[in-house]
Structure 1
């Protein structure tokens, strides 16, 4: 998904709402309700985003961690991002020239998980422009595309992310369904949970 963000193809992300018995409110003047211990709490959408959304609110900025290639342990200067021409070349062909004493074969190259990337290496900063709530299965075709699903060339064919004999699909929503289940588990789409829909734009790091 980092590549989709860098190409400005991914401008949305969805995350499950983790509030007990979350649903629409029947109380006039409120939008949503959920159970907190033995009580029910009603919220307007604006107050719910401000008080309960763990991913931020419009105007907040988020820095993106990325996986990096551990070139430093071989005497080279980093960072080298996995999602980059240099990173992909190193993982395919190794480091250095064949007659270089620092030459390292690709099987000896290690990757540093994104969770361990220092803030100083950040090259992607996102600014939240909108937060909303919807049921997962209510995603539109346009929003599925905004999730950054992979498109094969110029064809109307998008990637299937779960194991299947199919190469791709002509339906972006189906592609997103498989992406969701590849992350959240089999049948997680069928559960149709409420999700935070966080819309963002890339800004200068």
Structure 2
């Protein structure tokens, strides 16, 4: 079993904590290119196997049979590997507590974070908000286990997958901002464009689809 860090913004961390998010999509880098021979399909350069990999064949999940190279080539890991979540956070004085950057916690006043970081904390703690990329392993409160991973086009996301991404109807902030209820898939698209740019949905990039379950932190 291997363990790797993964970044999530505050809204997505909250969705994981509530039990509403069990998938994440990340853009494949570099993007696969069209094969220039009779086989068709797309090639993707894998540094792990030092070779060009055929996306439609070697990077697919064959439901328990021959899995191609999907487990070896993606940057997140295989089934059973773990991802520890990096999120924006706070540190406070010498109390020995970390403060996740969400609405449930305040790093000043009478409210305090609900968990204590594992391991020895550094002595120079401050009230300064720290970006997710700088979160050390000892401050992590969420650990995920990969249950499946695949590669697909962004626009292939289904309504059920959009819900698994943590999106639903008018309860999501993007729907409220637009002033009316929208479906889960449209909600996902709207948020994707907020994060990556107005035309990024239309580009329909290849994405890694990582399915996971929470094994530390999150909903009871």
TM-score range normalised by the length of the shorter chain: 0.7 to 0.9
**Is 1:130 matched up with 2:142?**
no
Cα distance in 1 between the residues matched to 2:154 and 2:34: 13
2:161 to 102, 125, 143: 143
Q: Do the aligned partners of residues 114 and 136 (structure 1) sit closer, same or farther apart at CA in structure 2, a change above 3 Å counting?
A: same
Rg larger in structure: 1
Residues 130-178 of structure 1: CA distance to partner in whole angstroms, max 9, x if unpaired? 11122111111111111112x5xxxx4143649x962343311111001
Q: Which runs of 5+ in 2 are unaligned?
A: 1-11, 46-50, 61-66, 112-125
Q: Which runs of 5+ in 1 are unaligned?
A: 98-107
The TM-score normalised by the length of structure 2 is 0.68
**Is 1:172 matched up with 2:175?**
no
Q: Decide whether the 8 Å contact of 2:145 with 2:212 is kept in 1.
A: yes
- Give me the CA root mean square deviation: 3.1
Residues 70-119 of structure 1: CA distance to partner in whole angstroms, max 9, x if unpaired? 322xx54321222363x2x34xxx4369xxxxxxxxxx953111221221
Cα distance in 1 between the residues matched to 2:201 and 2:183: 16
Q: Do the aligned partners of residues 115 and 41 (structure 1) sit closer, same or farther apart at CA in structure 2, a change above 3 Å counting?
A: closer
The TM-score normalised by the length of structure 1 is 0.72
Q: Decide whether the 8 Å contact of 2:28 with 2:207 is kept in 1.
A: yes
1:80 to 99, 106, 109: 99
